[in-house]
Structure 1
């Protein structure tokens, strides 16, 4: 989760744990996992260490991926609350924030929010460590929200994209976000078909 550090300026990433996905959650470390001074080699802004996500590969190895204006990733130890190696950059075209990694078949997919107002783009790789090949847009602008963050999941053999728009507010907006979910489909070559945003969601 993204937090504010008491003594180190800038955004930080902490870890909270719970026995239930609905909480209650508690601090797993008593300290932050990532602080802004750990990524100054790549960017000088104070808010680049946001939007963390965790991907667990088929072999059980977990990776943390995050970043605003620059995408980062790092291996996690089995405890899931410690880094297991250096922080590494991933250079992606038109990258803004909100990285998400998933795997389907032999392909790894890295989707992310692009530019501003934000659209969703993605890249593909045969290896979690890259190289990543940019594949273009997943969806267009939500139309009533400048931001758009996503998650891609598989459930009972079908794939879905969870994202947000500003529909909860009659006048739209970027911070009162409405959660949306729609089906996601792949082409035979592994690329992802452009996701169609609907007002009905999944039926």
Structure 2
């Protein structure tokens, strides 16, 4: 199982993964990530997630969340992501209980050229805020750090999942959760509460509520949060005319995971005139939902300001350059029969997935491929087929122009096959891949046009 992977192997895979670009879900595949807070700083998107790691003897609690540090990732286009490395780690924060492995969901905000990173964890001195989690702050001159932790956590705050809103008038608010969801004004230094916390009590009374994320749009304040209505968390939201309520519950913005991932945690972001939902799932660890991976999907609003429900996708957002590796397994559409997705190697899931065609009738469509103005001359595929097979690649859909036909020789090993492109059109298109009739099983790792 994935939680038993050796640390050296995980580290090696992480290094290899940093060389890859991802326009699909999950968009970070070099390590486990969860609880993504996304922010735009200086025209670039920065994502501050928590960092799940497998438990090991002396390292965390088996069967539970294990987190020792935070990374930050950034992108200019939501397609190509850079890991800027560790920004805060548990045993270099003065007030944190050593080796507590409880660096849970964070947030980061900017004011006057300074970046304030908020994070919850277990304190070594419970006389400050009592037992349980509390929330601290680390400050930097750049969104990537180096971040310097404050010597003590925020006084008067007990809980997890910090979120900060700076309102239009400049007033900052801190939100967090601990059984209920709380909010309070922050002082101008963003390091202290300016008032006693307020319980945001207009929310559902039954079921776990946590992970608040508050934003303002067109004069409406949206309080979004995970809530367990049945067995696992779904994402809900409430609205108000004031940052601290009272709030009115409006509905669900993402349903429970169909595969049973217990948690979800999220943030919403407007970037280049489009809204996005950042959230997590357990794609890279389907048998253990405490090792999670972050995702992005597009989000929209109805005319009355309500949030249209987001349906999770594997394709995610952003364009994929036709001259990069196109991972068909992160599809836009997949046939109900004759095609399936599997890990390349179940023992090392960070290597990613493959598309498996099991005969005629199977197909996969991958949207948002940017061919640009120059027509590619060849297409390269990494494929394998124990029986031999023939694949057709078409533009846009099943009846679209034939881009290439690929004969895959019989054999058990992966091989790279290059064939000429028969015809192509400039611009952005979907590609449609399917085996021909009476073909055998064939597996595809990736496709790349040249």
Q: CA deviation at 1:74?
A: 0.7
Q: CA deviation at 1:95?
A: 5.1
- Say whether 1:111 aligns with 2:232: no
Q: Equivalents in 1 of 2:305, 2:287: separation in Å?
A: 34
Distance 1:131-1:7 versus aligned 2 partners, 3 A rule: same
- Say whether 1:73 aligns with 2:183: yes
Q: What is aligned with 1:14?
A: 136
Higher mean C-alpha deviation, range 87-96 or range 144-153 = 87-96
Q: Equivalents in 1 of 2:169, 2:313: separation in Å?
A: 36
- 1:152-189 Cα deviation digits (max 9, x unpaired): 111111111100000022x2433211110111110111
- 1:6-49 Cα deviation digits (max 9, x unpaired): 12121111111122222222113x111045xx66xxxxxxxxx0
Q: What is aligned with 1:178?
A: 293
Q: CA deviation at 1:5?
A: 1.5
* Conserved 8 A contact 1:13-1:32: yes
- Say whether 1:160 aligns with 2:271: no
* Conserved 8 A contact 1:112-1:122: yes
Q: Equivalents in 2 of 1:195, 1:21: separation in Å?
A: 28
Match of 1:62 among 172, 178, 187: 172
Q: Equivalents in 1 of 2:184, 2:306: separation in Å?
A: 25
Q: CA deviation at 1:132?
A: 0.4
Q: What is aligned with 2:317?
A: 202
- Say whether 1:26 aligns with 2:148: yes
Q: What is aligned with 2:304?
A: 189
Distance 1:173-1:68 versus aligned 2 partners, 3 A rule: farther
Q: Equivalents in 2 of 1:157, 1:63: separation in Å?
A: 25
Looking at CA atoms only, which structure, 1 or 2, has the larger radius of gyration?
2
* Conserved 8 A contact 2:298-2:317: yes
How many residue pairs match? The answer is: 190
- 1:120-150 Cα deviation digits (max 9, x unpaired): 0000111112110101111112225210001
Q: Equivalents in 1 of 2:178, 2:304: separation in Å?
A: 30
Q: Equivalents in 2 of 1:11, 1:85: separation in Å?
A: 20
Distance 1:24-1:144 versus aligned 2 partners, 3 A rule: farther
SS in 1 for 2:160: coil
SS in 1 for 2:223: strand
Q: What is aligned with 1:126?
A: 241
* Conserved 8 A contact 1:144-1:173: no
* Conserved 8 A contact 1:144-1:166: no
TM-score, with structure 2 as normaliser: 0.41
- Say whether 1:138 aligns with 2:253: yes
TM-score, with structure 1 as normaliser: 0.88
Superposed CA RMSD in Å reads 1.5
Distance 1:104-1:14 versus aligned 2 partners, 3 A rule: same
Q: Equivalents in 2 of 1:161, 1:185: separation in Å?
A: 9
Q: Equivalents in 1 of 2:216, 2:155: separation in Å?
A: 25
Provide structure 2 residue ranges, at least 5 long, that are not aligned to the other structure: 1-118, 319-450
* Conserved 8 A contact 2:232-2:260: no
Q: Equivalents in 1 of 2:248, 2:208: separation in Å?
A: 13
Distance 1:172-1:121 versus aligned 2 partners, 3 A rule: farther
* Conserved 8 A contact 1:14-1:34: no
